[in-house]
A and B are shown apart, each in its own frame.
Chain A
């Protein structure tokens, strides 16, 4: 009969830990899905809302075209707006679903309970990402189809590299969401204002709806300091097949390095910040404060 050695036991314990974490993560994803399906009005309304926003922005853009609503724009403009919009709704949803949901749990008084359970904190945050990936992915595909129908042919080149840039940009965006969740624990009710501020800062500085060349040089300086700007630029330039003038902020090789580092490091930095904010809140007894 073989006795379990110390190292065998530690491997088993670790595997059981991973299994438990995975099971907790899946249970949380399921919980998020169930909650989403229990509010059909919200479900349908958020879908319809994206369509209306797309129509409003498209019509606004067409006011500058020679034949107004009857115009069809060139494919570079379509690509610029559609691919920018995809990243915009991901960032917007991430800030609300990851960052602001922590605030909701705090308000409802369930955050304290969540931290008393042995469940992985990372799984709790990541489960919200799963919903964003699924739901926002579906929304962005539908929005892209609608915008293409309204604006004209959508350019689609370098699909593989485009997917890589999207994955890295989203990974970095989720990391930003974790960092925002940390900020939410600190600033409490002001988080709503902070979400709005971040969204609008992104709309201007990361230029999802217009080329960076439209920004004044002074603002472009700040755009260059934000890694997500390179994500927007690299993503749309790659999928548009690098038309003249694209990418705008740096050569594509440099942008790919920045986006990759952003995608790999930001989730770690964001989660580290979140754990610090959570420890701080626990020490001060402010987890259930609002």
Chain B
């Protein structure tokens, strides 16, 4: 019988370490209620910009024009779903990539690599924290926005929308690990994350359907799990139509991302990590 190495932490210890990281971060953010409030307000204001411009320029035809372009006249819900999902996506990129950079800047990344806990375990803890914070803020923003813009937030199939959201989270965090590897390598986290969150917002179709893109751009957009996630949520709630006609086919694509994206990203992250460790790059910033 093979015995476990004394240096190899057990599964329960790994889970405990990840949860401790999640708890640490949740305690930390609870000390900044202003930041939490802003995360709820930002998507509402962000969605209000095109609404106000659209109402002012199209007047009484705003809803009809919007329906002709997107498939729904409920532009309040459409734009708010986009902005709320964007909050989740932007949070994911900021929290994972910035975690790596923060540890690097404060000089604790080197120490993380000297503990028996894998950096991926700690990153998983950060991802869980980020998902709780992002999804929580997005849901509150959506329901609060529904109150402000006066539409029914519970139209359509809410359960299916949540399924798309939660299945989409895993490949999303897989992608952020890939991005974390890039930050480890290039080091200028702020600029990269700022740019990346806007590129993703464009590609996921934050305020418009990606089916309006030219074919080459649509192809690139559909390689991003958030694109399937936001379209799934919108289709479930507003009936705008799935990419592959049926919800289960779109859902299957998200599941394929779910399996492939984390495996691929973790491999890349580990390779970059190993390269930096060999070349004294962990402690430099």
Q: A residues touching B (Cβ–Cβ < 8 Å)?
A: 39, 41-42, 45-46, 48-49, 52-53, 55-57, 59-66, 68-69, 73, 77, 81, 189-190, 192-194, 196-197, 200, 203-204, 207, 209-211, 213-215
| B-chain residues with CB within 8 Å of residue A192 when the two chains form the complex | 35
Interface assignment of B97: CB less than 8 Å from any CB of chain A: no
The digit string for B179-209, where 1 denotes a CB below 8 A from any CB of A, is: 0000000101011101100110110001110
Report whether B195 and A48 are in contact in the complex, using a CB–CB cutoff of 8 Å: yes
B220 at the interface (CB under 8 A from A): no
Contact B68 A209, beta carbon cutoff 8 Å: no
Tell whether, in the assembled complex, residue A59 and residue B208 are in contact, meaning their CB atoms are under 8 Å apart. Answer: yes
Cβ A66 vs Cβ B68 within 8 A: yes
Q: A200-B41, A210-B56 are in contact. Are A60 and B49 (CB under 8 A)?
A: yes
CB-contact partner of A210 in B53, B61, B62, under 8 A: B53
Q: Closest CB-CB distance, A13 to chain B, in whole Å?
A: 44
CB distance from B64 to the nearest CB of A (A): 9
Query: Would A63 and B194 be within 8 Å (CB), given that A57-B50, A196-B42 are in contact?
Result: no
Residues of A within 8 A of B79 (CB): 60
Tell me, rounded to whole Å, the shortest Cβ–Cβ distance linking A199 to chain B: 9
25 contacts between A and B (CB under 8 A): A41-B191, A42-B188, A45-B195, A48-B195, A49-B195, A52-B195, A52-B202, A53-B198, A55-B202, A59-B207, A60-B49, A63-B207, A64-B53, A64-B62, A65-B58, A65-B69, A68-B68, A68-B212, A77-B57, A190-B32, A193-B34, A197-B38, A197-B41, A200-B42, A210-B52
For A55, what are the chain B residues with a Cβ–Cβ distance below 8 Å? 202
Q: How far is the CA of A175 from the CA of B36 in the complex (A)?
A: 29
Q: B54 interface residue, CB < 8 Å from A?
A: yes
**Binary flags per residue of B25-51, CB closer than 8 Å to A gives 1, else 0:** 000000010110010011001001110
Instruction: Please tell me if the beta carbons of B53 and A209 are within 8 angstroms of each other in the complex.
Output: yes
Complex Cα spacing A55 to B70, Å? 17
User: Could you tell me which B residues sit within 8 Å of A by CB distance?
Assistant: 32, 34-35, 38, 41-42, 45, 48-50, 52-58, 61-62, 65-66, 68-70, 75, 79, 186, 188, 190-192, 194-195, 198-199, 201-202, 206-208, 212
Q: Which of B45, B65, B79: most chain A Cβ within 10 A?
A: B65
For B201, the closest partner residue in chain A by CB is A56
In the assembled complex, the Cα of A213 lies from the Cα of B75 at a distance in Å of 19
**Which residue in B50, B70, B188 is a CB contact (below 8 Å) of A61?**
B50
Return A63 CB to nearest CB of chain B, in Å: 5
- Shortest C-beta distance, A154 to chain B (Å), equals 16
CB distance from A100 to the nearest CB of B (A): 11
Q: How far is the CA of A81 from the CA of B57 in the complex (A)?
A: 11
CB of B54 within 8 A of CB of A193, answer: no
| Chain B positions within 8 Å of A53 at CB level | 198
Contact B199 A52 (CB under 8 A): yes
Name the distance in Å between B77's Cβ and chain A's nearest Cβ.
14
Chain A's nearest CB lies how many Å from the CB of B90?
Answer: 12
Give the distance in Å from the alpha carbon of A58 to the alpha carbon of B69 in the complex.
14
Instruction: Give Cα distance in the complex from A203 to B188, angstroms.
Output: 28
* Given A64-B62, A197-B41: 11 more A-B contacts, CB < 8 Å: A41-B191, A45-B194, A53-B198, A61-B54, A61-B57, A65-B58, A81-B53, A200-B45, A209-B49, A210-B52, A214-B52
Instruction: For residue B205, give the distance in angstroms from its CB to the closest CB of chain A.
Output: 9
* Chain B residues with CB below 8 A from A211, complex form: 56
Chain A nearest CB, measured from B107 CB (Å): 14
- Chain A's closest residue to B54 (CB) is A64
Task: Verify B53–A214 contact, CB threshold 8 A.
Answer: yes
Q: Which residues of A contact B42 (CB under 8 A)?
A: 196, 200
A215 to B52, CA, bound (A): 7
A64 touches B58 (CB 8 A): yes
Q: Can you name the residue of chain B whose Cβ is closest to the Cβ of A201?
A: B45
B76 to chain A: closest CB distance in Å?
Answer: 13
Can you list the 10 inter-chain pairs with the closest CB atoms, starting with the nearest? A64-B54, A60-B207, A42-B191, A60-B50, A45-B191, A214-B56, A193-B34, A68-B69, A214-B52, A52-B198
